[in-house]
Amino acid sequence: MKKTLVLKVNPLQPEAEKIRLAAVFIRNGGLVAFPTETVYGLGANALDAKAVLRLFKAKKRPLDNPPIIHVSRIKDVYRLTKEVSPIAKRLMEKFWPGPLTLILKRSELVPEVTVTGLDTIAIRMPKHNVALALIEESGCPIAAPSANLAGKPSPTSAQHVLTDLRGRIDAILDAGSTVVGVESTVLDVTIDPPEILRPGGTSYETLQTFGRISLNPVVTADKPLLLEKTRSPGLKHKHYAPKADVVVVEGTLLPKVVVKVNELVQFHRMRGDRVGVLCTNETEHEYQADMVKSLGSRNDLASVARNLFGLLRDFDAEKVDVIIAEAVPTQGLGLAVMNRLKKASGYKIVNVDAA
């Protein structure tokens, strides 16, 4: 156990002395959690193999799941990569800083461990003044997976990070809750057309305004699909799971979904389980369970995304055994929300249309 230094910092105008303190840890091979616009990341110097190994260890992350590398300027991408296609360049110019991660061919400068032996690298420029200031002050690209223990829901507040990692990391820059709430979209630009490997904070619709973009089948899968190892290494691992079991109920008619959720609540309560319902403002009043939580309005999928991981953690804090979760529409950020929910459920999905 080490002492984790908690540095409260202004999200818009981070205090220079706190950023300097955090950057000293990074430069010395240490681990610092910091906010981005999506979720909190756990940072280490991406060019320091030992520091990156510490990062995997602190998170208990499998060594075959590479982190995302964070940069503060587009020009930093060029020394980390072999080739930047015109499409990749246009995407960076249009969507950075922002919740879009690009998969590119990596250069020899990047240590093997940072990319877990792959010949590609995931890079993004976060849209958060604290993250950008930390990268600038550290003077190196920062490898940062989400700052949770592997398999747990990603952290959207400093408290979430401390619950998982206090005593395992050197410091955290606490700038309050994150805005987007789900992680960045991972887009493979080594192929044409570019392909979304993980839906996230930059929606499919938004990317399509840019040009032709394809969706990898894993994005919408209702069961675990095995991608070739090199394409999307993280996808085979357990993800986003609270301690409670999660069951997702989906269907085209909302009233039928509500009936099924209530049926499942009854079923699990009869077995003596403590049952939670994860729903939306429109349906919240329809449920009775040990704990009923609304993600927000179905008409505001950005707030649904913002609330998702925090609510999954709240159910754990309340020691709920089973969470019955209503599906939400897959437009906009809803696609990322449903992808995370289905993974969190281990693909326990009930479709009421089939019945």
Give the residues lining the site for Mg ion (CB under 5 A): 146
* Token duo for residue 77: 């991408």
Buried b (16+ CB within 10 A) or exposed e, 316-348: beeebbbbbbbbbebebbbbbbbbbbbbbbeee
Among 55, 144, 257, 333, binds ligand TXA (CB under 6 A): 144
Asked if residue 122 binds ligand TXA (CB under 6 A), the reply is yes
Q: Which is nearer to ligand TXA, 4 or 216 (CB)?
A: 216
- The least distance separating ligand TXA from the CB of residue 62, rounded to whole angstroms, comes to 10
Asked if residue 121 binds ligand TXA (CB under 6 A), the reply is yes
Which residues between 272 and 291 bind ligand TXA (CB under 6 A)?
Answer: none
State which residue has the least CB distance to ligand TXA: 234
For residues 144 and 34, is the Cβ–Cβ distance under 8 A? yes
Among 91, 84, 80, 78, which Cα is nearest to 115's?
A: 80
Among 115, 68, 117, which Cα is nearest to 96's?
A: 68
Q: Which is nearer to ligand TXA, 101 or 157 (CB)?
A: 101
How far is residue 133 CA from its own chain's centroid?
A: 21
Q: Which is nearer to Mg ion, 237 or 285 (CB)?
A: 237
Asked if residue 153 binds ligand TXA (CB under 6 A), the reply is no
Only segment of 23-31, 97-105, 166-174, 213-221 that touches ligand TXA (CB under 6 A): 97-105
Asked if residue 186 binds ligand TXA (CB under 6 A), the reply is yes
Asked if residue 183 binds ligand TXA (CB under 6 A), the reply is yes
Work out the widest C-alpha separation in the chain, in whole angstroms.
Answer: 60
Q: How many CA atoms lie within 13 A of 290 on its CB side?
A: 22
For residues 180 and 124, is the Cβ–Cβ distance under 8 A? no
Rounded Cα distance between 293 and 279, Å, is 6
Which residues between 30 and 59 bind ligand TXA (CB under 6 A)?
Answer: 36, 38-39, 41
Asked if residue 184 binds ligand TXA (CB under 6 A), the reply is yes
Residues that bind ligand TXA (CB under 6 A): 36, 38-39, 41, 65-68, 99, 101, 103, 115, 118, 120-122, 126, 144-146, 183-184, 186, 197-198, 232-234
